Amino acid sequence: MSAGDKLAVATYVIAGLGQDVVDEKWTNDERSLRDDEEA
């Protein structure tokens, strides 16, 4: 297994475990960006 493969697997696992948190964070960030643009 190459280092790239290991990184891909680690990223996949972390993404799976943290997906809910990431979704929540990105949703909040995008909302903040839109609010900043409108202001």
What is the three-state SS of the chain?
A: CCHHHHHHHHHHHHHHHHHHHHHHHHHHHHHHHHHHHHC
Instruction: Let me know: does 14 contact 6? Beta carbons within 8 Å.
Output: no
Q: Identify the band that residue 22 occupies on the pLDDT scale cut at 50, 70 and 90.
A: low
Q: What is the pLDDT of residues 5-18, one digit of tens each?
A: 999 988 888 877 77
In the chain, where the domains are located: 1-39
How far apart CA 5 and CA 13 sit, in angstroms, is 12
Task: Quote the DSSP letter at residue 2.
Answer: -
Q: Identify the band that residue 39 occupies on the pLDDT scale cut at 50, 70 and 90.
A: low
